[in-house]
Homo-oligomer: A and B are copies of this chain.
Amino acid sequence: MMPPIVILDRPQMGENIGAVARAMMNFGMRELRLVNPRDGWPNPKAHEMSANADVIIEAATVYEIFAEALADCHFVVAATARKRELDIPAYTPREAVGLLVEKSNEGQRVAIVLGGERAGLANDDIAHCQAICTIPTDPKNSSLNIAQSMVILGYEWWQAGIRDFGFGVTADQSPIPNPQPLLSTQAERQGLYDHLVQSLEKTNYFQHEGRAAVMQRNLRAMLAKLPLTSHQIQSLRGILRALSS
């Protein structure tokens, strides 16, 4: 399965191009195409922000005509605000990535278009695309730059890949993290409780008149509610031994 090609339409700040490349590298994408970058190309500022994604920056190709940048693609998603006037289906990032996975898996060449930092993508350009992806944000503060959008789409791509194709599943980074710690048994809790009560009986803790039984019940209830592991019970008993010695 080929990852999406990333196409930046009229990108402006070189730093943002670099940050896009960095996010691509993080999330398993490699091919970057630039349509009319404002400050020309190559651009040293793109290198500064690209971390170890120089390989992407150096291989990036430049186009003058938007349609040519996606000429060899089968399925292109444009990341942009919803365009009611265009009658192109709009998806969330998760949904859009689901489509990209599906199409790529069928052997289609897929791409993501980001761009128009100042004015957004032009309707004429969006009209080339098969789908729109709109990132949900606070409607009062909805402006995302291309690097932010790329991080979100990359993250969803990688998650979908882990889920569906096992990307990156190594010993160190499994998608489902927590091996469940061994929760203690009731017998272990009872051992801790007995140990605690015996330790406290040597002090003046229970010597409030007539309250010892209630205090012990409260201690037991507290221990019962805490999700203690076997290991934690051992640690707590070690502490008790030290404090009571």
Q: Give the B-binding residues of A (Cβ under 8 A).
A: 22-23, 25-28, 51-53, 82, 87, 89-94, 134-139, 141-144, 147-148, 151-152, 155, 158-159, 162, 167-168, 170, 172-173, 175, 177-178, 181, 196, 199-200, 203-205, 218-219, 222, 226-228, 231-232, 235, 238-240, 242-245
Interface-central residue, A94, A142, A151, A232, by most chain B CB under 10 Å: A151
Q: How many chain copies?
A: 2
Q: Tell me whether B151 and A136 are in contact (CB under 8 A).
A: no
Beta-carbon nearest neighbor of A93 in chain B: B155
Q: Do A196 and B151 have beta carbons less than 8 Å apart?
A: no
| Min CB–CB distance A31 → chain B (angstroms) | 15
* B173 with A139: CB separation less than 8 A: yes
Given contacts A26-B141, A138-B167, contact A243 B158 (CB under 8 A): no
Residues of B within 8 A of A92 (CB): 159, 175, 177
Contacts of A135 in B (CB 8 A): 155
Contacts of A82 in B (CB 8 A): 172-173, 177
A243 touches B170 (CB 8 A): no
A168 touches B137 (CB 8 A): yes
Identity of the chain B residue whose Cβ is nearest the Cβ of A177 in the assembled complex = B90
User: Which residues of B sit under 8 angstroms from A51, Cβ to Cβ?
Assistant: 143
Residues of B within 8 A of A243 (CB): 199-200, 203, 240, 243-244
Selected from B53, B168, B181, B238, the residue in CB contact (under 8 A) with A87 is B181
Closest to A178 in B: B89
- Select one of B28, B144, B200, B244 contacting A138, CB under 8 A: B28
In the assembled complex, the Cα of A53 lies from the Cα of B145 at a distance in Å of: 14
Task: Give Cα distance in the complex from A136 to B167, angstroms.
Answer: 10
Closest residue of B by beta carbon distance from A25: B141
